[in-house]
Structure 1
């Protein structure tokens, strides 16, 4: 329990909650002491509304983002107050404002959070209407609150500048270790492979998010010159990317291997032990970073490697070189994979156990790093391109605008105490997707009712404002800490602290609790209905786009692998970008599938067929990573014409699948092309069989390397061809247009 509490207190979520609580509480305490509670409360409100825009980034973008958010928060409040007396113009301007604020989400995560701050400010403005000079004063105080939050955030950043990156790296290491552990589970003879693959795909979604966070911080910081610590973390991050690619690249035919070594189970069990220890070592490194302790290795990975080498040698000796040749080649590839993983893990170990001054990357690679980041400019063309019903953000913006307008009208014509609570609930809950909105609606209702009842029970027993204020601060910290972890618990604590605040400043607390619960239920109901009936963004409409992007990314990755295999040399930036995009798109595809599985059954069209395509694309990526990793880390020979014919066939198959997803006609391979493909495979297999027959007793190292290459490349080419054909067939059967 002590460890869990310590871990929670050291988490990024808790730190963020501490920042916003500090920025909100200090103005209230100071100004209340000076006899100006309302001024302090308004400044705190400005800080609270600016807080959502404080997302991971380098310092420059953090400052710019928070300043823009503070200005929008104050500006929205001023606009609503200024137009409030003029009802005939308030409604149309309110619609335009809400629609515009929601639409700026097309510019990415930071813009989405700035949009959220503006929408919150617009909703809250209806709870505090001012006129004349007072509205300027009120908006000015909110701006001061936003700037004050920026200062608090910068202070926290300078107190522990390295901690956020360390925790993100620790999480990345642990997720990568979990992924490797799942790969190790595949070596169990009775493993549920489909379940393991599903877990891997879900994990890929989490890994993609944390990779983007780390790219944003580490690579953008590099452009302005950074510390040795940042360089060290960047090297660790790059090593983790390579470890993940290596883990994904072990696309062995496990059934075939279990049959091959059925009489020699020790071979595979020794390899599985090594695979588990690789994952355990990474997990241990992650824990040491998380606990701020010096890393001390507890796993003897080199001994595990020696044990694997020994069982391979014993296997070869028992069967004889000729009979064991094919099995040894398979095991040698597995051995080489393990060696590369240990090499990468040792790089990470050295980074956290030694004081090394890491030199900066030089030359083209330093320049090329910016290509791995999302662009930070905001062209108006992006906004214009999304002004159509084909855009999910456009439909969401329209839906949100109409729902808020309906909520506002209901609040005006029915006897609701606080209309802005209805609006706030709509803003907080409504999301572009139905599944997440439904989940948040349900959790919000439970949290509000539970929080209201708990707060009312406490207030009926405790009447000391100091105690209530202290409890409000604690609940505020816990509320914001849990919002990202468990929205239901977060909503409960947020409701408790809001009721506590009202309990201090208003005597009729029972009415406050009653109206807050009622307003929340109305806002939640409106949100749920709107997401179902107002231009819903059902995932079956958009999932063909994610499928197409994933297939395109895999095709481009294969094309880069083929170019590298043909021309050799150093790994190009275009190769790395293609690899990165392939990983990102498979995660995006799985995220889309997850959202679809949360929607009503009637909207889960072709769900099994879509999942089949998700798994096929993941397996294809695994095979590509296996081929790409091998040719990067081995001396390889000239690519044969047969290799290029097969690769071109796979690319043609993937192009056909893309056309099918675009609802275009796609021509199948001609008989002549199928005949040539079969001939090329026969050619490759005959060459390999001849070399096995004539040269399997050769001690020549070059021959053995060539045989390993032939074994892996032919195996992957066969797998790639079969997978691409399966993707085409699955795409033909997919029908989402009904």
Structure 2
């Protein structure tokens, strides 16, 4: 009985979590906006009018992406106008095929190209392309075509009304759920760092997982920035807004600190092999850091009051006691290096606990402006500006642009779809066109995956729907099943396209089951048209100006190196000038994280492509890891000089930083094919080697000349010099390896 109750409770929690998710809420919006007009119009005896309004809502829905209210409204309005306009254009030109197909080709190409303006424009483009394809399914003439387009526009406006109602009823829930997901992913990242302390840990595999997590975190952090920061003028300085800002800023700092603090696990395992309790205690603390964040995430998702289950302060005290025991057991002379290593680990844990406590307090008590301490200043300057210059469109009108090649490829593939529909007795040509629009993506790997999933979902969904319709003949029951399938289809499409395609197919077949008695032919032709559309999209992405990722990898690689260089330069400026962290520094840090994540995402896409197109995969992966390590080392130096009162930067420091920047500039020049390799190799290598040999002595001399006669203060400053020198050595080695690997990449 107890197990039954526990299982039922878990099931209820899962259902509640599912229905509270952002994807479910989005699915509910479009379902309500589509179903309500049909119900009302059917009651009044005008089913076709309601159905047309529903199509307008359905086609406008993709453009409704999270953002501030003004951009949300503008995006949906533009999409509704484009959807209605495309439908009218097809109907007006349909009697004149010699005009229709050239004009539609231009429209499809233009709609696809506007995706160069970012995610919102991409989704507006998708709405327009869907509307253009669907317009060929039901052509109208005379006054009907204007009436039809007007009803579609009305459907888009009705969807906007439903979306605004959801927004005002639960204005903060989206940000809360995104924040919960961000906390959960950060927890997973910290958990992986804890896994590195296992003696038999597969460290390359764990590091690869961390890189994948950074890609996910980068995406979700951008979503939160877009909504949270752009919404500040609308929400003002409310407690909820301050709370979310404080949590978000703290999460970014937690990730930066985790990335910036790296330990030589092999050396530490060897050093403390005779004292396993030391590392086990630290690993326990590391796991509890992750567990605390995971518990916070669950508390937000379930809307429960947060009560901490872990005592991080006690875990820290246990670690400090274990270190004292180690120091006593090994003696003064033997343990100095080991204690210094362990002290660094304690400092890292202290900082993470401090930041996690800030997140905890934000969910327990109110947050004031003083709690932010000015850390929210100028955050809006970290966002990409929202404007759409014509020059961006014009600059992409060349074969060097991935968007241009994709737009041309999509246009030609749709024209081939028209040709196949004209040559063969297919029932619904527009299903082929819809399949091409939905499946086709700029990258080969994603198109291939979506093709398989779409075909699988269509076949399975068609069979399930046919089985249900052969048993159930009641229109009310079928309509109810259609609504449920629609909600589930839109919910799963964003997270599991295979399942989403299955439910969408069930929904479509149920709708046709209500409209026509010959459902067998509907299912057969839908499966056939989907296979044809999916096959065309797959073949076109392979043969028509393919955007193989190994070509894009070099672009992302160059951007990543540039971002790392800019970050290093800003760290150097901050170390020299001191003072407050500037917006230029924060922007450079953010861009470095983004570009390294983009580089990893590009590598992931490349690994999904045919083996013959995975050119120089090991060399590229090495450069991905080197850039990630470069970011980690830079963040380590930047975090240290922010959290410590540092001395004036030495001339030796500046010389080494200039060398690091020069190495990265040389790597960029090599990738751009603007430099002769042989001219770059001997650059000031002897001078740098000399600087590393004498850097510590130079620093000691500078400190003595500054009249630091207090031995303790002098030792503290020398410790700073030691830590800074270690990072400078590492940065220099990394920058040299990036340069050498870039040369090998270009030579092969």
* Class of the TM-score when normalised by the shorter of the 2 chains: over 0.9
Distance 1:132 1:471, change over 3 A: same
What does residue range 161-560 of structure 1 map to in structure 2 within 5 Å?
161-226=171-236, 227-358=238-369, 368-560=378-570
Matched residue, 1:695 = none
Gaps of 5+ in 1: 692-697
Distance 1:239 1:142, change over 3 A: same
Distance 1:536 1:736, change over 3 A: farther
CA deviation string 1:440-464 (max 9, x = no partner): 0000000001111111111111111
CA deviation string 1:248-270 (max 9, x = no partner): 01122222223333333332222
Matched residue, 1:734 = 745
Counterparts of 1:345 and 1:361, CA distance in 2 = 15
Contact preservation (8 Å) 1:231, 1:359: no
Query: How many residues are treated as equivalent by the alignment?
Result: 730
Contact preservation (8 Å) 2:666, 2:680: no
Counterparts of 2:360 and 2:93, CA distance in 1 = 61
Counterparts of 2:333 and 2:567, CA distance in 1 = 37
CA deviation string 1:125-170 (max 9, x = no partner): 0111111111010000000000000010111111111111100000
Contact preservation (8 Å) 1:546, 1:592: yes
What does residue range 9-88 of structure 1 map to in structure 2 within 5 Å?
9-88=19-98
What does residue range 88-127 of structure 1 map to in structure 2 within 5 Å?
88-127=98-137
Q: Which has the larger displacement, 348-357 or 591-600?
A: 348-357
CA deviation string 1:377-434 (max 9, x = no partner): 0000000000000000000000000110110121123211111111000000000000
Counterparts of 2:714 and 2:199, CA distance in 1 = 33
Shift of 1:685: 4.8
Contact preservation (8 Å) 2:212, 2:600: yes
CA deviation string 1:59-89 (max 9, x = no partner): 1111111011111100000000000001111
Counterparts of 1:315 and 1:346, CA distance in 2 = 28
Contact preservation (8 Å) 1:330, 1:711: no
Q: Does residue 147 of structure 2 align to residue 137 of structure 1? A: yes
Matched residue, 1:566 = 576
Shift of 1:667: 5.2
Counterparts of 2:278 and 2:720, CA distance in 1 = 21
Q: Does residue 671 of structure 2 align to residue 661 of structure 1? A: yes
Shift of 1:537: 0.3
Counterparts of 1:724 and 1:261, CA distance in 2 = 32
Counterparts of 1:181 and 1:699, CA distance in 2 = 42
Scaled by the length of structure 2, the TM-score of the pair is: 0.95
Matched residue, 2:731 = 720
Shift of 1:3: 2.4
Contact preservation (8 Å) 1:49, 1:121: yes
**Which of the numbers 158, 167, 184 marks the counterpart of 1:157?**
167
Shift of 1:653: 1.2
Q: Which has the larger displacement, 632-641 or 313-322?
A: 313-322
Matched residue, 1:637 = 647
Counterparts of 1:317 and 1:582, CA distance in 2 = 43
Gaps of 5+ in 2: 1-10, 703-708
Q: Which has the larger displacement, 302-311 or 19-28?
A: 302-311
Contact preservation (8 Å) 1:56, 1:62: yes
Shift of 1:496: 0.5
Q: Does residue 588 of structure 2 align to residue 578 of structure 1? A: yes
Counterparts of 2:257 and 2:491, CA distance in 1 = 35
Q: Aligned with 1:521: secondary structure?
A: helix
Distance 1:458 1:273, change over 3 A: same
Q: Aligned with 1:223: secondary structure?
A: helix
C-alpha RMSD of matched pairs (Å): 2.0
Contact preservation (8 Å) 1:232, 1:358: no
Scaled by the length of structure 1, the TM-score of the pair is: 0.96
Counterparts of 1:705 and 1:401, CA distance in 2 = 66
Matched residue, 2:7 = none
What does residue range 601-616 of structure 1 map to in structure 2 within 5 Å?
601-616=611-626
Distance 1:382 1:548, change over 3 A: same
Q: Does residue 604 of structure 2 align to residue 594 of structure 1? A: yes
Shift of 1:108: 0.3
Counterparts of 2:47 and 2:600, CA distance in 1 = 50
Counterparts of 1:668 and 1:264, CA distance in 2 = 51
Q: Aligned with 1:177: secondary structure?
A: helix
Counterparts of 1:166 and 1:672, CA distance in 2 = 51
Q: Which has the larger displacement, 191-200 or 94-103?
A: 191-200
Shift of 1:362: 8.9
